[in-house]
Structure formats: structure tokens, C-alpha cells
Amino acid sequence: MTSPEQTTAFAQEQKQHLRKTLGRFDIVLIVMSAVLSIEVLAQTAGFGAETFTWTLVLAVLFLVPYALIFAETGSTFIGEGGAYLWVRQAFGRPAGAIASILSWVTQPVWVGGSMAFLATETWNQFISPLATGSVGDWIFKIVFIWITVLAAILSLAKAKWLPTMGGLLKIIFVAFFLITTVIYAAQNGVQPLSFADFSPTLSGFLGLVPLLLFSYLGFEASNAASDEMKNPKRDIPVSIARSGIVSALCYLLPVLAMLLVLPQETITGIGGLLDAVQTVFTVYGPAGDAMVTLAAIMFVVILASQGAAWMIMSDRMQALTAADGSFFGGFFGKISRSLGTPVNVNLLSGTVATLFLIAAMQLSGDAGALFGVVLTISISTFLLSYLLIIPAAVKLRWQYPDLERPFKVGGGNVWFTMLGAVAFLWVLLGSWVAIFPGTLERLFGLEYDFIEIWGVPQGPFTALTVGTLVFLAALALVGYVRGRRIREAKPNLETHALMVSIDENLDTERA
């Protein structure tokens, strides 16, 4: 294959500091820790029983085609940087820079603007009171952010225990909650639900699509650290399949459990899951309160591990973007010789998360409203990145038909393109609804009270959402222009040749 796209000498130099430390077990649990977003379960369950219906529909009509596409792409086009490399190879560096910054910034915004709020509110409600806006409230949120950053800074061999532990804790947490819910239902009965309650509605569909897409996306993110995997070609498709199946079950069953034990009007995004836990844990009698406290501590640790997992993966992609001359210069592209991690980008993520925390704290409204607003901003940036990543995967299938594919979707290029089109249209719909909520509802004649739904006025909401996207577009443009010096220093290997050389080295090591 010949291509005008080349890697840079600086990227080649920095990638020599990476170390192969991730096996299949690590990859599966890190992906589970990052992608299984149990913190949004209550936000979705607030739409009632139709949440279960739409979660199942998207699992079949979106998750399956999306997982097939990236099981093939991720195991074929390996290399540190993941999705950035795919978009760059398909559409050029500027497009890769935009996709990378949209995907990367989602994580510090999510950690600083939503997860820190959820962790603090969990601590406040179930463990020890923390008054909103107090010194303790600020300290807790800031410490939470920088714990996730520290985990990303430490060498992967040492730091991977936090996200892998988080992946295990999520499965244990959900499993114990479901078992307890069955016991509770046997003793106390459940909320009256009929088949009619599960009937899908247009308003529920438009409200749930962005949330569910956000929950299902990200299984290919581990590719950002593929040069640190022992056998990425073998392990990436397996990790996507396993984590995808487990995640779908861990969304469907807890949502159903919450609906069975809590009235719909009491389910809130900021505390609904723990409220359900508190309700069903009454079956343990006097020990119930202590078990709820333990579950709350476990939940806070899960949130920290999820933030750490995303920081580890997204920061590596952004560091490779910088080392490749698409995000400012060499400063953000440096990989620590001693740690094998992108420390400068890690610190940048922590700074962005802290700044977004400060910005979110200035919004009027309660903690639940702030959680929903910042969640939507995170959703919008994340979904928009896939409007480039999915077409890139499709183009690479057509552009390089002769490449060996450890996992290949059957049906030929046309079928692969159809799967990509389905996934793309879902993401396009979700992106619009996340950025401009209420517009499609009003178009179809549905009533939409913005303040009642979001808890904040539409003006500040739109200003924060659109303002964030405009700022990111400007940052990506400036970063690309400033990376010119790095881009000019190119080695002789083209991107595809580099990938082939990596594959040959891996085969030699295994032999």
C-alpha cells in the first residue's frame, strides 16, 4: 500500500518508551471499567419502563453492528493512538485531530463535570454529609479528579489495578444488587408494571437515544494503547465481544430492577441507583444500613476507576495525536521514559477537568440538574467524534481490501458499509438530540418544558454546550497549525508500513 500519510520522527521516538503490559484479562476489565456506565442507569430509568424496551432495541440495532465494525477495524489497524490513526489514514491529519480532541476532551469534562458531582453526592447522601458549595465539597471533588489523573500518570503495569479492579467491582455490584432485588421482590412485591408500560414512545425514544448511545460506545477505545498490548490482534475482538455482551446485560437487568422496586417519579440521575440499593437492602434487617454504606463506598471507587480507565486510554490517543503533529508540538506528545505514560497530557486532562468543575459549579440548579447538563455536554462531544470514526472504519475496509484481518465481518464490503451506515445514522440522531434537546420534540408536536426537564434555563444550557464545541473546534485548529514543526520531521516508514512492522515484531516475539 502507498499513502501520502506518514508518521513523524517524534512519534517514532516516543513510542519506544511504551511497554507491553496488557493481556486479554486486563483489556477486558479495563474496557468494562470504562464503558459500563452504571452511573447513567438511573438517568435512563427515569423514563420509565420503556427504557428497558429502547435499551434492548439499541443493543440489537446499534451495539451489534457497531461492535462488529470495530472488532474488525481494531484488530486490523493496530497502533498506539487507535481511532486517531484510523481517521488520519482515511481522511488526513486535520480530520484525525478533530476526532481525537472530541473523544479525548469528553473524559476530563465527564470526570470533572459529572462523575465528581455524582461521587460527591453519593458520599453526601449515603456516607457523610457534604454541604453543596462548602470547602469540603470542593476538596472532595478536586481530590476525586486528581486521583483519576494520578492513576493515568503511573506506569501501566502498576496503575492498571485500579481500572481492572473497577471492572470487577462493577460486575459484583450489579450482580449483588440483582440477587437482592429478587429477594426483596419475593418478600415485598414489586411496583405494578404492565406490558403497556413497556410500549415505546417518540418522546422516550428522543430522550433516551443519546444516553443509550453514550452507554454503548467506547469498546474500541482500548486500541489507543494497542502498542502496550501483548497480542492486540487476538485480544481486541475477544475483549469487544465479551465486554459488549456483559455491558448489555448490565444495563438491561439493573434498569428493570430499579423499575420494579422504585416508583418512576422517585428515580433521579444523581442518586437513583443507590436509592434502589437502599430500598432492596432492607431485606438484610439491621445489617442493611451498614451494607448500603459499603455499597456507596464501592460505588465511589467504581466511579474513580472508570475515570482512571478513560484517562488512561483517551490520554494516550491525544498524546499520539500531539506526537504526530496534530495537537500543538512535542510537549504534549512526550512519553515518560521512566513511566511509559503521557504525563503532560495527563496533567492537561486534570487541568481541563478542574476548570470544567469550576464552570459547572457556577451553573444555577441542584446537583441532579448539573449532573444532567454536564452529562449531555460529554455525550455531545463523544458522539460527534464517531461521525468521523465510523466513516473512517468503512473507508479503510474499501481502501485496503487485501490486508490480513484476524477478525473479518462476513458479507463483503457492501454489507460492512450498511452496518456502518446504520451505526452512523444512530450517532447522527443522538448528536443532534444531545446538542439541541427539544427541537425534534417540538417539530413532531410534542410538549417540551425545558426548565422542568433540565432544571436550568435553555439559554445557559445552549451557551455552555455550543460554546464548548466552538472552543474545541478552535483549539483543534490552533493545535494543528502549531504542530507543523513536528509534522515536517518524517521518517521513511509510511503509516501502513509502520503497522506491518509492528505486526512482524509481535509475530517474532510470540515465536
- φ/ψ (deg, to 5) at 229: -95, 145
Query: Which residues, listed in sequence order, are joined to residue 494 by a DSSP beta bridge?
Result: 6
Q: What nine digits make up the cell of 223? A: 486500541
Single-letter amino acid, residue 10: F
Residue 469 to residue 22: CA distance in whole angstroms:
34
Helix (H, G, I), strand (E, B) or coil at 22: strand
Q: What is the average pLDDT across 468-493?
A: 82
User: What is the per-residue pLDDT across 206-244, written as a single tens digit (0 to 9) for each?
Assistant: 988 888 888 888 888 888 777 878 888 888 888 888 778
What is the distance of C-alpha 19 from the center of its chain?
A: 24
Residue 129 to residue 122: CA distance in whole angstroms:
9
pLDDT of residue 509: 44
pLDDT of residue 396: 94
pLDDT of residue 510: 44
Q: What nine digits make up the cell of 121? A: 453526592
Three-state SS letters, 243-266: HHHHHHHHHHHHHHHHHHHCCHHH
User: What is the per-residue pLDDT across 367-395, written as a single tens digit (0 to 9) for each?
Assistant: 556 666 776 787 888 899 999 999 999 99
Query: Which residues, listed in sequence order, are joined to residue 280 by a DSSP beta bridge?
Result: none
Q: What is the average pLDDT across 76-96?
A: 90
Percent of the chain with pLDDT over 70: 89
